Every structure is written in structure tokens, then in C-alpha cells.
Amino acid sequence: MRALLAALAVSAAYPGAWATLAPRSFFDTFPGADRHWTAALPAYSEHLVTDVGAFYLGFALLLAWAAWRPARGLVVPVCSAFALFSAIHLAWHSAHLDALGTVDAVLQTASLTAVFVASLGAAVLAARSRVNGAG
């Protein structure tokens, strides 16, 4: 459980730190490695990108905290909220793949699906845990 929560924290910290500290770079080149998923979207807004980065960093902190101290009372609500966000995020991006090539569309959809499944899975596993510690 701790490894899953730590992986989710990293998955939120990576875009969160980048979007917060370098919003234009994030918009132009996310996720990196010659991929440009965000730049394929509508016009750049520094305010929006920075806000999204801050949101991701907030979740990264909560997920890291849950990994450090995995208790059902923390893991279930944090992972449930991240799963809700991830489902909505996945749905929006799945409906807006036109500007991406096939490889990028598949990679983006797969990565967003993985985060959704992982966060939902962590919430379910923690909710089913018989003891207070979810680890």
C-alpha cells in the first residue's frame, strides 16, 4: 500500500512541481521526451497552468502523507478524491484526442487510466482493510 501511495504521490508531484515552477515550459513540453500533450490543447494561460500545478502539489502532499502514515481514515478519502479527479481528467482528455497522434493519444490515455485505477484501487484496498493501518 505504501509503495502504491508513494507512486501516486510522485505521479502528482511531477506535473505539479513543473506546472507551478515553470508554467510555460510545462504547457509547451509536457510530459517531456519530445511529447507535447498540453501544447495540443487550447491557448496557454499561466494562471490556469499554475493553479493546476498547485492542485497537483496539494494532492502530492496528501498522498505522500498517506504513504508515510497509511491509515484508513486518511487513505480512503484522499484516494477517493484523487480517483474522482482522475476519472474526470481521463474523461475530458479521452474526448479531446484530435490534436494528438496515435502514439501520444494511446500513451496519454494509458497514463491517465493507470493513475485512475491506482487511486481507486488504493481507496478500495484501504476501505477493506480490517485494521486502522492500511499498509
Within-domain flag for 63? yes
Within-domain flag for 44? yes
Q: What is the pLDDT of residue 130?
A: 61
**Tens-digit pLDDT profile for residues 61-90:** 999 999 999 999 999 999 999 999 999 999
Overall pTM > 0.75: yes
CA distance 14 to 62: 14
Q: Once rounded to an integer, what is the mean pLDDT over residues 119-128?
A: 95
Within-domain flag for 89? yes
CA separation, residue 4 to residues 38, 107, 125 (Å) = 26, 20, 11
CA distance 18 to 84: 22
Within-domain flag for 108? yes
Within-domain flag for 123? yes
Whether 135 and 2 have beta carbons less than 8 Å apart is answered as yes
Q: Residue 79's domain spans which residues?
A: 2-128
Confidence bin at 131 (pLDDT 50/70/90): very low
In this structure, what C-alpha cell is assigned to residue 63?
498522498
Within-domain flag for 134? no
**Tens-digit pLDDT profile for residues 37-48:** 888 887 889 999
What's the mean pLDDT when you consider all of the chain? 92
Q: Is 100 a residue whose pLDDT tops 50?
A: yes
Within-domain flag for 61? yes
Report how many domains make up the chain.
1
Within-domain flag for 9? yes
